[in-house]
Each structure stands twice: as C-alpha cells, then as structure tokens.
Amino acid sequence: MNELDKTMYYGRNQAIMEMAKALRKQMTLTESILWNRLNNKKKLTYF
C-alpha cells in the first residue's frame, strides 16, 4: 500500500466501506456511463 492509499481512507468506518462497495456493484446505467467516461479520462459532453 502506498502513502496515498493510507491517507485516502484515513478514519474510515468498515460499515461505510462495505456500503460503498455494495453501491458500486449496483450502479444505475447513468452512473455506470459517468464512471466509465471518468475512468477513461474522456471529456463529458453536456446536452
């Protein structure tokens, strides 16, 4: 684990981390598209 990873989750609560994990697995189509574009570093277009 690098230094950034250690500070990223400082003071985390295990229940919150589990909830976040569950929510990531149950994303809506819109959330999935957004995160896919963000992860691919594509610019978002607004309509």
Tens digits of residue pLDDT in 34-44: 888 888 876 65
Q: Is the pLDDT of residue 28 over 90?
A: yes
Q: Residues 9-23: what's their mean pLDDT?
A: 82
What pLDDT does residue 15 have?
A: 86
What pLDDT does residue 22 have?
A: 92
The reply to whether the predicted model has a pTM over 0.85 is: no
Q: What average pLDDT does the chain have?
A: 77
| CA 45 to each of CA 15, 20, 22, 34, 35: distance values in angstroms, whole numbers, following the listed order | 35, 27, 28, 11, 14
